[in-house]
Structures are given as structure tokens and as C-alpha cells.
Amino acid sequence: MWKLPFYYNMGKDMIYTKDQDKIAFLYYDSKNTKSFTFGEIHKISSRLSGFIKEKTQRGDRVAIISRVIPEILFIHISIYLQGRIAMPIAPVLGSSAIKLRIEKAYPKIIFSDNQNYERVVEIAKDYNIEIINIERELEEIYLKSREVEPEETYFDDPAILIFTSGSEGEQKGVLHAHKILIGRTEIFKFMCWRIDEKELIWNIADWGWMAGMFYGPFPALKLKIPFLMFRPQRFDPELFIKTIENFKITGVFATPTALRMVKNSGVKLKKKLEIKRILTAGEQAGEDLHNWTHQFFNLQLTEFYSQTEAGPLITNSPNLFKVKPGSVGKVPPGLQITLLDDQMNETEDEGELAVRAGAPIIMLGYWNEGFGSKLWNGWFRTGDILRKDQDGYFYFIGRKDNIIKTSGYRISAEEIEKVIIGCDFVDMCAVIPQKDDIRGYVIKALVKLKVGIHEKDAEKLKSEIRERVEKTLGPHVKPKEIEFVDSIPLTPTGKIKRK
């Protein structure tokens, strides 16, 4: 049974503490390190919330498109304090993906950093949206604003809107309430058991995705445990290990792809590590990565299963029970989990993972869509197929829809196909996952060319396809492999036979 206070504001919960001089986080910009206390976060966020209150109304969306810098944390908290809805957007996304989010949710304000400002201005030029460069304008806004009292919010009031990568062929806005911080923090504690104030948590994921905020920084703020804010532009295995060594990191979240890159790089440890746990999710880690983590770091990998709509739902917790390599773990306390077969009957073997509706880690619904078919007979359906063994351990099998998981991203095959078919030399296209030793899976595109197009220009055509996908959807989505084929198998109704 979850204990949820009737009045609850996640922004207040993250910054309010008796010890305002306590270090909340360290910011490292690859050269210098600066520390921020809870008192400083409280003061900055409360002043900025005065600006948010003046410019917006309850229920308005406020978007954030930026690399990971301290300003985005202050903005997040100021939005929550006033009962508005934060709308983080990953900078890696292409222009079309960003525009889709703007059109669907129409934020009142967009905060952007220097690197993305001009692009955001161009994308949003046809909309009446105020765009603020946080690296040039936020200090002046802070000086002109006045500190205001937080709005009184209920635990079920909307707080954050994050879009999926297209779990059912279309990117959807997932709306979560303030209660999500309570739910995810409790499960975070279970994964990391025991965790105390002497820790230093590091999450390498971007804050445009759920993973970047809720598998480290936000729970750490609630628990009053310091975290490191540092995300280099490109992942470097040697820098990853060096950061853990130099900052004496005790807990880190990294995707299986990042860990495989460390594994394959041959990097060596130069210092004795303080690390106690490594959390990973977003794709299957696999038994080999579990075994390597145990050998290299001398600890068990804490793999878990989660999604934007709900999670974590299944998790390992090495200090509480034995980890089975390849398994995503067991059901954490507070959740009721079941598996549903194709006839929607509960099964103990293999089926679609579902969680009992009402848990605070479940979304309020898709933006302007509700739950659709996600709710059934009191269960929230995930759309993922898992298997459970006789000891209660779960194993991820695959998705019911056509999602490819690569490098920690969930990518819609149909979305990529639409972009590729937009090339004037392409007749048909099918996007499929292909096994990869580092990324788990990579994107492969099977392309049928139009009549009269010659494959002698194959490399040029492949380059055009990749450039189009990168520009439209983002570099993380472009196909790793492209193969030209004579035909693509179809069902009688014209759908691609993906299997």
C-alpha cells in the first residue's frame, strides 16, 4: 500500500531540507567543478518560479531543450513549484520530432541553451511561443523576478510531460503527476539498498528522457544524497572510468550500450573504486555483460525493466537477493504484477507484462488521448512480453509492437520508414532490428528502389538516406546498415511481414 500525502509538490520535496548548507549536487564541465547547496537551489528556483507564475497559468506546458547544465534543474523545480507542467525535449532529436512535440503540446515557453537556441527559434517560428536562451537571459530573469510561495498541488496533479520515441508507431506525450517522484524514489531505494547520505550518484543519460532524471538526480534530491551533474557530448569509455575514479562515485546509471563500449575498449582501472552499484536499463544487458561487470567492477549489475509510461516495474537488487545474469529481476515492493496471454488471461509462464492500475509510477495518460487500450480490467498493459521462471525472476523477451531498442533508445520502425520512403528514389522500405554486440540491436533498412534507379550509385543513395533520417529524426535513429532488395514481403492487407 502506497502512502501518498493528499497535498504534494515534487519541487518542494526536492529542495526543502533543514540543512540548507548541505551539498545537493556537483557540476563538472570537463574542466572545473562547482558545488550547489540545497539553499542555493531553493533560492534560485523560488525566484525563477516568480517568473513562471507571471508568464503562465496552471496546466501550461514549459519546454526545456538543452544539454545537461545546472540551469535546467533550476527551471524544472521552478515549474513544479508553481504547478505547471515541465516538458523536457532531448536535443539529439531532429527538427521534425521537436516540431511534432511543439504542435501536440504547445508549450507557453521554451527554454533553450546556446547550442540549440537558433535551431529552436527556426523550428518554432510559426508559433506564438516565447523562447528564452537560458545561458544569456536566465541571470537577468532571476534578478528581476521576486520569490513567491509555491502553489498548493495535489499528489495527482500533472507535473511532467515526456514524449515516447513512438511505442505504437507514433510519438506520444506521456503525462505524469507529482506522485511519480514518490513512486520512483521508493523503487530506486530498493534497487540501491542500502543507500545513505555519504553516496555520490552519477547518471550519464540525457535529461530529455525519463532515465536521465529519475534514475539518479531527482530521487537523490528527494533523499538528500548528492549527485554529479556531468554529461560529455560524446561517450568515452576511458573518461567514464576516470570520472568514477576521480569523483569517487558510489552509484552510476549507464545503458547496456555504454557498458559494452567500456567492455570492448580494453580500458583498465588505475585506482581503487568506491563504486557500490551500477544500474542499467533501456535494452537487454544479457548474461555476458552481467558476467563482465562482476569481473571488472567486482559487483553485480543492477538491471531493471522500465518504460516512460510506467516503471521501474521489475528490478534486481543485489544486496537483497541473488542476481540471475540475463534476468531483469523481481517485482519490487508496492507493485502488483501479472503476465497476460493473447486472450487476456493471467499466466505464470510468458505473456504481456501488466501492473495493477493505481501505482504512483503509472502515467496519468497520453497527452489528449487518455489510456486507450493500455488499461484492461484494472491492469495497465505495457506492450512488452516477458517470461517468469519458477523462482519469480523475469526475463525480457521482446515487444508486441514494432519497436527497436538500440543504445538505450526506443525507436519506431514505422517512423523511420516514413522518412526513408520520402526519398524520391525509394519505392518501399522495411526497417528491422539487427543483433549487435555493443548496442544490443542496431537499425537495418531494407530498401526497394524505384524502377530506373541503378544500384551503381549505392553508396551515394545510402548516404542520402542516412542524412535525411538524421536531419528529420536525429542521429541516434539513422540506419547502421542499408541493404537494397528486389522485393519486400507483404501481408494480404499490404502490411510488411517483419518476421
Residues of the chain falling short of pLDDT 70: 1, 166-169, 398, 401-403, 410, 455-456, 491-495, 497-499
Omega of the bond leading into 107 within 30 degrees of 0 (cis): no
152 residue type, one letter: E
Instruction: Walk across the sheet containing 130-133 and list its strands.
Output: 130-133, 109-112, 61-65, 85-88, 158-163, 173-177, 365-366
Q: By three-state DSSP, how is residue 399 classified? A: strand
- At residue 218, the pLDDT reads 98
360 residue type, one letter: P
Write down the pTM of the prediction: 0.86
All structural domains of the chain: 10-388 (3.40.50.12780), 403-484 (3.30.300.30)
For 433-456, what is each residue's pLDDT tens digit?
Answer: 888 888 878 899 999 998 888 766
The x, y and z cell numbers of residue 366, run together, are 497520453
Rounded CA separation 330/87 (Å): 31
Task: Residue count of the chain, please give it.
Answer: 499
Within 8 A by CB and 6+ apart from 85, the residues are: 59, 60, 61, 62, 79, 158, 159, 160, 161, 175
Q: In whole angstroms, how far apart are CA 117 and each of 74, 174, 444, 476?
A: 18, 25, 32, 20
Closest to 6 measured CA to CA, from 152, 150, 154, 180: 154
Under 8 Å between Cβ of 300 and 287: no
- At residue 168, the pLDDT reads 45
For 314-330, what is each residue's pLDDT tens digit?
Answer: 999 999 999 999 899 99
Question: What 8-state DSSP symbol labels residue 21?
Answer: T
Rounded CA separation 166/429 (Å): 18
Under 8 Å between Cβ of 30 and 77: no
